[in-house]
Amino acid sequence: MTYIGIIITFVFISNFILTQFLGLCPFIGVSRKMDSAVGMGFAVIFVMSMAALATWVIYHLILVPLSLEFLQTMTFILIIATLVQFVEMVIQKISPPLYKALGIYLPLITTNCAVMGIALIAVRSNYSALESFIAGFSAGVGFLLAILVMSSIREKLDTEWVPKPFRGIPIAFITAGLMALAFMAFDKALLKNLLG
Amino acid sequence: MLHEFTKGLLKENPIFIIMLGLCPALAVSTQVVNALGMGAGVIFVLLGSNIFVSLLKDFIPEKIRIPSYIVIIASFVTIVDLVMQAYAPSLSRNLGVFVQLIVVNCIILGRAEAFANKRSLAESILDALGMGIGFTLGLLLISLIREVLGAGTITLFAVGSFDGVIRIPWLSSFPARVIGLATGALMVMGYLKALFNWLETKKEQSRQRDAVRSGL
């Protein structure tokens, strides 16, 4: 698949949240306020691109030559956990303002299914190193897009009257459902039309 | 002691009350058989990790406990993944990456951190069973609603001449396909959570009324 194809696929057609349900916990949990949603979105883009690349390197240069592919799950989760810690330390050192903005979201990302998901999907799709990185980056962009739209809707919803049992999480899920309905317009046929 | 088992079923149901492990709950709930397979996987991993964490709680240094739990959990997930690929290849194909994603399922790490690392072995086993079965029941409820309304069928395991698919007479000719898609999953979850909230407030109100009455 071409690079543009990968980008369109992961941002729109198989958007991680709205079609694959990966990363749903932070999506519902951190989408109350726009600025925290943006912070989380950028932290996820950063970690997902790095994780996709790092897991590719470890999988293809260490696990495959030693035929240890069955250790995939364990290595990937450890790589991701280490990477998140490392990224947190580096950001704290070189850019305190950025750390202040992203810091609290970084630890949450370790258990974000989306990061582990992109690592596993990139391996299953036999992507090259650059393709994995682009897939990770665009899946992160897709996450940012979804959480940004969601948080702006929820900020509006706060001032509306909502039946009591639906307040908070239930209405967020129903909103997400309607967003997913809109994203159904992006399907494989669109990709074919765009790229011929 | 029995309370550790029953609390996971309803009062602290992982999906509807604590709201953990939602990604797999929504993604694999298109067919009842997938929900059962996923539930079995989660019960196994949860049981294994709770037992090991509970047994090793005095040996794992405080500082590196989370990475240690992750390694324990990942080992059990690998076992489930390999066993499923070997003995239930079609189920493994249906569940896709979500089998391996059990490793980042917050319920399992959550129970290790919040429960198993301070309780006895027996309590941890009961807690794992209760939480695991509660998760499976939640998954089963979502998948039943989605499959019955979205496809008009209930897919179970194929046994002998029975192909494992129960067709519901009228619904299978006119299913509301959208409920089987991503939209339906999110909406069903929203409505179910609203229902649970409503039941909760109902119970709360009747408890208050009882308190007032006994006060008089």
* Per-residue pLDDT, B86: 94
For residue B110, what is the nearest residue in chain A, using CA coordinates? A111
| Look-up of token digits 């006994």 | B214
* Per-residue pLDDT, B209: 87
* Per-residue pLDDT, B82: 94
- Domain around B133: 3-215
* Per-residue pLDDT, B80: 94
Question: What residues contact residue A110 under an 8 Å CB cut-off, 6+ apart?
Answer: A80, A81, A84, B104
Q: Containing H/E element for A116?
A: helix A113-124
* Per-residue pLDDT, B4: 82
Q: Which residues of B touch A123 (CB under 8 A)?
A: none
How far is A151 from B205, CA to CA, in rounded Å? 32
CB contact, 8 Å: A1 with chain B?
no
pLDDT at A60 over 90: yes
Candidate from A7-16, B60-69, B154-163 with smallest mean pLDDT: B154-163
Yes or no, beta carbons of B74 and A73 under 8 Å apart: yes
* Per-residue pLDDT, A83: 87
* Per-residue pLDDT, A141: 95
Least Cα distance to B141 among B45, B5, B39, B42 occurs for: B39
Least Cα distance to B100 among B123, B73, B127 occurs for: B73
CB contact, 8 Å: A108 with chain B?
no
- To the nearest whole Å, the CA of B146 is away from the closest chain A CA by 14
* Per-residue pLDDT, A131: 93
> In sequence order, what are the beta bridge partners of B165?
B155
Average pLDDT over residues B78-82: 94
- Using pLDDT thresholds of 50, 70 and 90, give the confidence band for residue B164: confident
- Using pLDDT thresholds of 50, 70 and 90, give the confidence band for residue B50: very high
Q: What is the count of structural domains for chain B?
A: 1
Tell me which residues of chain A, numbers 118 to 137, contact chain B at a CB-CB cutoff of 8 Å. 120-121, 124
Average pLDDT over residues A94-105: 76
Average pLDDT over residues B72-89: 93
What does pTM read for this prediction? 0.88
Least Cα distance to A6 among A99, A127, A93, A117 occurs for: A127
Question: What residues contact residue A23 under an 8 Å CB cut-off, 6+ apart?
Answer: A16, A17, A44, A112, A113, A114, A115, A117, A143, B23
pLDDT single digits (tens) A20-34: 888 887 888 788 888
Let me know if B98 is exposed, middle or buried by CB neighbors in 10 A (0-12, 13-18, 19+).
buried
Better pLDDT: A81 or A196: A81
